[in-house]
Amino acid sequence: MQPFDHSKEIAKYYWATPELVQKAIDTALAAREEWERVPLQRKVEMFLKAGDLVSTKYRMELNAATMLGQGKTAIQAEIDSAAELADFFRFNAYFAKELTKYQPISQHPSTNTFRLRGLEVSSPVKLPCCTALDECCLVCSIQGFIASISPFNFTAIGGNLASAPALMGNVVVWKPSDTAILSNYIILQLLKEAGFPPGVVSFVPADGPVFGGVVTASPQLAGINFTGSVPTFQWLWKQTAQKLEQYKNFPRLVGECGGKNYHFVHPSADIDSVVALTIRSAFEYSGQKCSACSRAYIPDSIWPKVREGLVEAQKQLKLGSPLEWDTFLTAVIDKKSHDRISSYLQMAKSPGCKVLAGGSADGSRGYYVQPTVVEVSDPGHRMVQEEIFGPVLSVVVYSHKDPVAALRLVRECNYGLTGAIFAQDP
């Protein structure tokens, strides 16, 4: 459904059963060996074609699906589903070719060679030419698969998590986010058109625990490629760790799990830059980015002017439908997100916090949350420490006499993904 008008549905899909998830794994494994044999140059050509299809034939369809299904404005959709997705395909192809330039040094009479291949799990098989299962005839069958689990907030991340492992010869079972189904399905279509054979990337919408339970139970699990919440990745990690004995190899886990992006403002900072860039970072796409500014540390010497600037700038932001060109931010992704962010807005009205701008939410038609600025007296407060993933900026005011002590506050947080320092004093 459209997050900005949840009375309108834009796509219908079904969750895969455990049996269907397993079928997808089996289909991927059946395609694995043949895909491994495809030369890297041919794979690169497929990725470059995929990038061209994103930029041309599928560009408007991807943008429209991202606007309608994920609630991005036209500008945000273009940055994500057109520009960044095409960049992922092209950059990955370029750097794959760069990897092939490296070969280890050989010292006569030895010859050292280096070959890139996909992650695999080992099982000895006999070559067709062999008459006996001698040691020299044993090779490793290629059985491993990658489970890719992608988030709603970037169409491009869905395409990248699903396709990047395939570039090096892996096969992928892809679980898209329930709230990005349509745009991600379009990516699957363009990958097919780019030449990806059946089974190389399998598109499997599923309930999270069902999908995670089946893939982590498979002895052929070679890796998990994940972007999403900390609790979900912790759960996947625990499931994998508890089943280590059953795997044919050690699965590789790659996870990017959100953040609590900070802006640290030095007393020498340019105030106009602080205001403009903090507003943009905190409230574009309603703060639904792990890199969105969620906490700011501002010295008391310039805080009155920065506060005035933030409050005035917030008044100029249009909260509305992404189908209207002048909308700056729109609804958050779904009811669950709306309710969670609303609970933080209630928290922001408790002692120790002061709402300076915004502070309300309305989910009657769309899941709308006002861009909100909150001054928080305690740097250890939950508003400052927890990932809200919404248009809420928490500000901590510190003494301009001791910016080093304030810097120490920045790292007293469980997240360390991104941050920025504003200063004119080197």
- Please give the positions annotated as active site: 256, 290
The helix (H) or strand (E) run that includes residue 148 is strand 145-149
Number of other residues whose CB lies within 10 A of the CB of residue 57: 12
Q: If you write DSSP's letter for every residue of 53-98 in order, what string do you get?
A: HHHTTTHHHHHHHHHHHH---HHHHIIIIIIIHHHHHHHHHHHHHH
**Secondary structure of the chain: what % helix, strand, coil (to 5)?**
45, 15, 40
Closest residue by Cα to residue 293 from 277, 306, 312 = 277
CA distance 156 to 181: 13
Closest residue by Cα to residue 222 from 147, 150, 140 = 147
Residue with tokens 């190899």: 249
Q: Which amino acid is at 78?
A: E
CA distance 314 to 33: 55
Would you say 341 and 392 are in contact if contact means Cβ atoms under 8 Å apart? yes
CA distance 369 to 339: 10
CA distance 54 to 48: 10
Closest residue by Cα to residue 68 from 351, 76, 233 = 76
CA dihedral 234, 238, 244, 249 (to 10 degrees): -10
For residue 11 the two structure tokens come to: 């796509």
- φ, ψ (nearest 5 deg) of residue 115: -130, 135
CA distance 4 to 257: 26
Residues 6 or more apart whose CB falls under 8 angstroms from that of 160 comprise 85, 88, 92
CA distance 390 to 345: 10
Would you say 82 and 59 are in contact if contact means Cβ atoms under 8 Å apart? yes
Which one-letter DSSP state was computed for residue 285? G
